[in-house]
Amino acid sequence: MRVALVNDFELVVRGLEALLEPYRDEIVVVEEDVRERPRRTVDVALFDTYGQPGDGIQRVRALAADARIGNVAVYAWNMGREHVDAVRAAGARGVLDKAMSGSDLARAICAIAQGQIVVSSTFHRATTASWPGHEFGLTVRESEVASLLLQGLANREIAEAMHISEHTVKTHLKGIFNKTGTRSRGQAVARIAAHGEFRRITSS
């Protein structure tokens, strides 16, 4: 099975590549796309919705419409049923929990490549440090808020993108300010933008 890994952060792409490496007899990662669509023909594009405005629906739709991509699988944490239904309606044939083991992920990718629909029954929070900003001590949700903050979204827009309240966004922002040693939105943006993984957002 030929697979493309599609994600805005190289850190996550490299982690996925390592996770699938033991199953290279079945799955070959032929492309790693950071902020771009695959350029080669693949059986499955595994797309991570982390830090995507609008739930990543537009990117799912674009990937599903690409003739070079056989099937789209979405890879995510904390995805509610509404979001699952939305990405499925946009063309994703798989919606997979990031807490899956490497073997379960490999099996799911193979099943999706063969035309099956695979949707995880539950989605869990991350338990390992594998997201941008973990060096600051940011939680996964704080990291997602930070990535959307860097894209210029207002609190209301961040709340809508993440399906949380504006109050919760403000709580996450306070955590970001505290952990990055900043006191304002502007200072936090400058500090986070200087960080290697987050810098990709502001340089693209």
The segment(s) of the chain belonging to CATH 1.10.10.10 are 134-203
The segment(s) of the chain belonging to CATH 3.40.50.2300 are 2-119
Class of domain 134-203: mainly alpha
Going residue by residue through the chain (204 aa), what tens digit of pLDDT does each one get? 999 998 766 667 777 888 899 999 999 999 887 667 788 999 999 998 877 767 788 899 999 999 999 999 998 877 778 888 999 999 999 999 988 889 999 999 999 999 999 999 887 655 554 677 877 888 888 888 998 888 888 999 888 877 789 999 999 999 999 999 999 988 988 888 786 666 555 444
The 10 Å Cβ neighbour count of residue 18 is 10
Q: Which helix (H) or strand (E) holds 3?
A: strand 2-7
186 CB-near residues (< 8 Å, 6+ apart): none
- CATH code of 2-119, in short, is 3.40.50.2300
